[in-house]
Structure 1
Amino acid sequence: MNRPLSAERLARELDWNLLRTFVVLAESRSVTEAAERLRLKQPTVSNALKRLEDRLGKKLIERSPGRFELTQAGRLLHREAIDIHGAILRLDTIMREVTDEVQGHVRVSMASHVVCPLFDDALKTFHLRHPRATLSIDVSASREAIASVLGRRASLAVCLIRDRSPKLEYRRLYREFFGLFCGPTHPLFGRADVTFADLAGQSSVSFVTDRMTDALRPVTLMRAEAELDERIVGTSAHLEEVRRMILAGLGVGPLPIHVVKRDLEDGLLWRLPPYDDPPAIDVHVVWNPSARMNRAEEALLQSLLTRIEETPMEERTYF
């Protein structure tokens, strides 16, 4: 590995695209995954990592069969790189032309299938008041949504929370409750006398965050209480895909109760125990207070926060 460049020479010669590639690598589980996210070939990404390590004179990622993790130098660089990368992405905010009318683009990173009337009302009011502002909503796993806000690639996130970063701000948007459901071809479908004993050993499907160490820990405990088969047949980060697997009969699976009311009424899903005290999951609005926001981003965020403050929690709790 080459000797590290001097600070002045590093600032002059470092390719910023290498930092962008490194940020994606640091937030991935392999070079292959990073290449897919960057839409590049794997050797291209590997070579970019090698060039960055050569310029810094430090090993940034330890790679071996079954192992892909940041070194201490890699963790330090990642923290700095996300700030640098975010600042570059948002240069248009600094250079924008100030006008009397609110303009700008808002990018929301959102967990799959958020059903929240309060959020929908905020979007409606935002558009009516600021018709020249634009909006995009990217659906992703909550972990990725948080990374986007931390890296200043998204204006705000609406998602589940596992660990809180001191660099971010959080407000609880609403609370939802999860139940267990099966599809029409499942042997328990349509039975009103189902007990926990009937659920024991049944195959299941679930979300990728349905783990004791992740955001859906209460749902994990519910599945454990039901003694479902420990082997999960299918997983997804998207609610629609978990629902699809349940409908297809792959197994019993958890879904937010208020989201699937129409499916229950239409006879597409059947609710299973537990019927009392279902696990509660909180969905939050998350933003980066150090990010330089444009006027449209500030307007939407403030509209959401005002509604949250003015709406009692019981009215933001959906069964």
Structure 2
Amino acid sequence: MRGRALLPLALLAAAAPVPEPPRLTFPLACALGKDCAIQSYQDDDPGPGVRDYRCGGRTYAGHGGTDIRLTSMAQQRRGVNVLAAAPGVVRGIRDGEPEMSMRRRPAGDIAGKECGNGVVIAHPGGWQTQYCHMARGSIAVRPGQAVATGAVLGRVGLSGDTEFPHLHLSVRHDGDTVDPFAWGAAAGQCRGGRSLWANTPAYAEGHVLVAGFAAGPVTMDAVQEEGAGQVPPPRRDTPLVAFAQAIGLQGGDAQRMVLRAPDGQVLADNRAPPLDRDKAQVILFAGKKAPAGGWPAGTYRSEYQVIRSGRVAIERRDAITL
């Protein structure tokens, strides 16, 4: 060792490479924007306010993860797999928690079990991912098991602190929660940091979760329980109602639903007053009773819009042929 000065231990430690974070893949077996949607992003505001990684309001105070929502309980019952977002080793699981809306459970019943049925995976370098609200009896891995990216962990459920079927994904480094859309952003900063996603899911100001046509007025519960495909469809001798359920709306948003005849004539035009506060989900419909002799044969169209600060933030068009 003559002629080679030894480096101080502190310098040796500083020179050690920083472990790279995991590259995340989408953790659900669904098509984002078609049969699932991001309900809430992580709250990156360090104070009492709320702010997502794009400076928007698609979150709520203290939310420490990303919520990916299914369109209905009917879809959940058919089964949607939860997938490992990165390779690692299963650190822990919980199974056996009941599946029901938190509104139906006694006060305090989910204390300490807000995640419901779930899985925690450890990744190299002190990283972890956690998957919550899974279906009871669906957990397909065990502690200590090595899993590859895309491995099936279980299925989406309705366990723990939730009102609708979704996956809550948390990412942590050395025990601290990390926003996977903005790793390394300064506290309180938005539009900063680095994405941990291999393919970053597109940001949306809001989303139409379910839309379609019915033979009468529709309710949020009916649409969410059975899905749009199970709502009684209109016929030429029934009322014709167009509806849309949207998520991620903000206070001041104005909704409009227009129903048009095959020739373009407006049959119904429902303009809802501006929302008085942020809404996680809303439903709006517009319709009309069948005329004498029934609806003329043809294609009927609906146009749903959410106007935010004078511009169209969310839009959806649908059609049905009678």
Q: Same fold (TM over 0.5)?
A: no
Higher relative CO (CA 8 A, sep ≥ 6), structure 1 or 2?
Answer: 1
TM-score, structure 1 as length reference: 0.23
Q: TM-score w.r.t. structure 2 length?
A: 0.23
More helix by share: 1
